[in-house]
């Protein structure tokens, strides 16, 4: 599990536990206990699990501050995959707060129990009004809890797209009848960004390998698409259902992430002015960002570099979405003066800018300056697979073959496969 974002509070395990064991009313700031239960994800020990369990047991679900801590404690136990805490976690399925129930169901899925009594309690929530059904369906699907099949069927026609997508995908998997999976595929082009993101997960869960080309072109952040393709590769290659060679062009298409390779779901009524297109790079719906990126490349090719550097200096340097698009665009625009900025951000280890590092690698390949070769080779020692893969692509662009020799010795089978491939 990726825990890079969970250690920002600077507390020791003992300090966090002491805060948890202090009555909420005695704390100077009620949010301190929330921070403490969040922070214990960094300490997979019996003491931490016991403290998180106490945080649930001593909370009063009738009070808001207590509910917030209770929800987070359940989530942290799920992230720790604390099987010993299941008896206490399970009790939270009865809470009136739907967000606590959501976290509880998710935690049960993360822990991975096969206890039929617990799974039946989860399935019974499908008949309880007002729940967040998508996470319930996912947990039942992960547990392969077949007795929930008939209760799941009624959700295959609900209006909410993310819920409908999860239900259809799970019914397909449980029955082996994939005739309805096309309805999930259609959601890759939904106007609803959450539906687009969610259906990628549902196609992964269904092991529907035929969806790989469409997943690659879906207008969501490449993080969702890369995760989807990587999970399908890790499942399908060992089983012999797909090969690396079959998926390779789609994987590399996603890593390059050029807007021409995205099936856009948005359009402009009129050509936007330059400043509007720049501001669209800050949208949380990456479908809008890709439309703006295409516009900047097609219409504002000459003016875009200066505008991108200006917005970077203003606020994109601290906005991880816009940061990514600025880095990638500077490469597509082949803006040579951006070399130093791209190298600087290639080595930016701040976790929120991880996807920008791969973008910088691709951009440096586009600039064509061989000075970047040693910088890119340094990143082949990273633990981040998509960064290493992007560096291999960039090194190929720069005519370097020594990077492949390094990649051929990598611990990750996918990096070795790329390094040993013909192109």
**Final residue of a domain: which of 81, 112, 143?**
112
Q: Say how many domains are in the chain.
A: 3
Could you report the per-residue pLDDT of 337-393, keeping only the tens digit for each? 999 999 999 999 998 999 999 999 999 999 999 999 999 999 999 999 999 999 999
With 0-12 / 13-18 / 19 or more C-beta atoms within 10 angstroms meaning exposed / middle / buried, residue 62 is: exposed
Please report whether residue 248 resides in a domain: no
The token duo for 41 is 């994800």
φ, ψ dihedrals at 240, nearest 5°: 80, 10
In a domain? residue 349: yes
Q: Is the pLDDT of residue 15 over 70?
A: yes
Domain encompassing residue 182: 114-217
Task: Mention every residue, 6+ apart, whose C-beta is less than 8 A from residue 179.
Answer: 172
Angstrom distance (rounded) from CA 15 to CA 12: 5
Position 25 scores a pLDDT of 87
* Domain match, 52 and 174 both: no
In angstroms, the Cα distances linking 3 to 33, 112, 243, 296, 396 are 20, 19, 30, 35, 32
Question: Stretch 320-330: mean pLDDT, rounded?
Answer: 97
Q: Which pLDDT score, from 0 to 100, does residue 423 have? A: 78
Final residue belonging to a domain, choices 90, 112, 134: 112
Q: Is residue 55 part of a domain?
A: yes
Specify whether 410 is located in the same domain as 268. yes
Mean pLDDT of 236-242: 96
1 pLDDT more than 80 = no
Residues 23 and 106 in one domain: yes
Q: What is the dihedral of CA 398, 259, 253, 251, to 10 degrees?
A: 130
Separation of alpha carbons 108 and 114, rounded Å: 10
Same domain for 17 and 165, yes or no, is no
pLDDT tens by residue, 113-162:
999 999 999 999 999 999 999 999 999 999 999 999 999 999 999 999 99
**Domain end among 156, 191, 217:** 217
Q: What is the pLDDT of residues 39-92, one digit of tens each?
A: 999 999 999 999 999 999 999 888 999 999 999 999 999 999 999 999 999 999
Question: In this structure, what CATH number is given to the domain that contains residue 84?
Answer: 1.25.10.10
Is position 299 within any domain?
yes
pLDDT greater than 50 at residue 5: no
Confidence of residue 9 (pLDDT cuts 50, 70, 90): low
Is 379 found in the same domain as 324?
yes
pLDDT digits over 337-349, tens only? 999 999 999 999 9
Same domain, 200 and 338: no
| Residues 392 and 408 grouped into a single domain | yes
Summarised one tens digit per residue, pLDDT across range 240-258 is 999 999 999 999 999 999 9
pTM: 0.86
119 and 103 fall within a common domain:
no
pLDDT tens digits, one per residue of 292-315: 999 999 999 999 999 999 999 999
Alpha-carbon dihedral sign for residues 289, 293, 294, 296: positive
- Is residue 1 included in any domain, yes or no? yes
If you average pLDDT over residues 405-416, what whole number do you get? Answer: 97
Average pLDDT of the chain is 94
Are residue 353 and residue 405 in the same domain, yes or no? Answer: yes
Tell me if 40 sits within 8 A of 76, measured CB to CB. Answer: yes
Q: Is residue 174 part of a domain?
A: yes
Instruction: State whether 152 and 279 are in the same domain.
Output: no
* pLDDT mean over 250-268: 97
Same domain, 213 and 324: no
8 A C-beta contact, residue 145 and residue 112: no
Return the pLDDT at 422: 83
Residue 294 lies in a domain: yes
Give the 3-state DSSP-derived string for the chain, with helices as H, strands as E and coil as C. Answer: CCCCCCCCCCCCHHHHHHHHCCCHHHCCCCHHHHHHHHHHHHCCCHHHHHHHHHHHHCCCCCCHHHHHHHHHHHHHHHHCCCHHHHHHHHHHHHCCCHHHHHHHHHHHHHHCCCCHHHHHHHHHHHHCCCCCHHHHHHHHHHCCCHHHHHHHHHHHHCCCHHHHHHHHHHHHHHHCCCCCHHHHHHHHHCCCHHHHHHHHHHHHHCCCHHHHHHHHCCCCCHHHHHHHHHHHHHHHHHHCCCCHHHHHHHHHHHHHCCHHHCCCCCCCCCCCCHHHHHHHHHCCCHHHHHHHHHHHHHCCCCCHHHHHHHHHHHCHHHCHHHHHHHHHHHHHCCCHHHHHHHHHHHCCCCHHHHHHHHHHHHHHHHHCCCCHHHHHHHHHHCCCHHHHHHHHHHHHHCCCCHHHHHHCCCCCHHHHHHHHCCC
The share of the chain scoring above pLDDT 70, in percent, equals 98
196 and 166 within one domain: yes
């Amino acid at each position: 599990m990726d825990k890079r974002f969970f250690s920002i509070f600077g507390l020791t395990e003992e300090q966090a536990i002491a805060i948890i064991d202090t009555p909420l009313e005695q704390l100077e700031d009620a949010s301190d206990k929330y921070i403490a239960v969040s922070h214990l994800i960094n300490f997979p020990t019996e003491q931490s699990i016991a403290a998180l369990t106490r945080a649930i047991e001593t909370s009063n679900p009738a009070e808001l501050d207590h509910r917030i801590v209770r929800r987070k404690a359940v989530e942290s136990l799920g992230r720790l995959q604390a099987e010993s805490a299941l008896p206490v976690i399970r009790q939270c399925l009865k809470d009136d707060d739907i967000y606590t129930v959501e976290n509880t169901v998710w935690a049960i899925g993360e822990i991975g129990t096969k206890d039929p009594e617990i799974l039946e309690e989860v399935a019974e929530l499908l008949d309880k009004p007002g729940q967040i059904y998508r996470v319930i369906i996912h947990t039942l699907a992960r547990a392969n809890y077949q007795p929930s099949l008939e209760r799941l069927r009624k959700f295959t026609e609900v209006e909410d797209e993310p819920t409908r997508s999860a239900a259809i995908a799970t019914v397909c998997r449980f029955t082996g009848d994939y005739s309805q999976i096309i309805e999930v595929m259609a959601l890759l082009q939904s106007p609803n960004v959450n539906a687009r993101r969610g259906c990628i997960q549902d196609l992964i869960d269904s092991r529907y390998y035929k969806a790989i080309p469409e997943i690659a072109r879906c207008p969501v952040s490449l993080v969702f698409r890369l995760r989807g393709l990587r999970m399908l590769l890790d499942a399908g290659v060992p089983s012999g259902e797909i090969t690396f060679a079959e998926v390779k062009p789609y994987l590399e298409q996603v890593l390059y992430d050029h807007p021409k390779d995205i099936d856009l779901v948005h359009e402009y009524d009129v050509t936007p002015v330059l400043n509007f297109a720049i501001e669209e790079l800050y949208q949380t719906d990456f479908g809008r960002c890709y439309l703006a990126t295409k516009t900047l490349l097609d219409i504002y090719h000459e003016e875009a570099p200066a505008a991108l550097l200006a917005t970077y200096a203003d606020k994109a340097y601290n906005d991880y979405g816009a940061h990514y698009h600025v880095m990638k665009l500077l490469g597509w625009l082949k803006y040579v003066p951006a070399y130093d900025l791209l190298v600087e951000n290639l080595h930016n280890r701040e976790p929120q800018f991880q996807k920008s590092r791969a973008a910088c690698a691709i951009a440096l390949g586009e600039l064509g300056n061989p000075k970047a070769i040693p910088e890119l080779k340094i990143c082949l020692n990273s633990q981040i697979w998509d960064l290493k893969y992007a560096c291999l692509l960039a090194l190929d662009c720069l005519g370097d073959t020594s990077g492949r020799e390094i990649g051929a010795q990598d611990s990750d089978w996918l990096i070795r496969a790329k390094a040993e491939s013909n192109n």
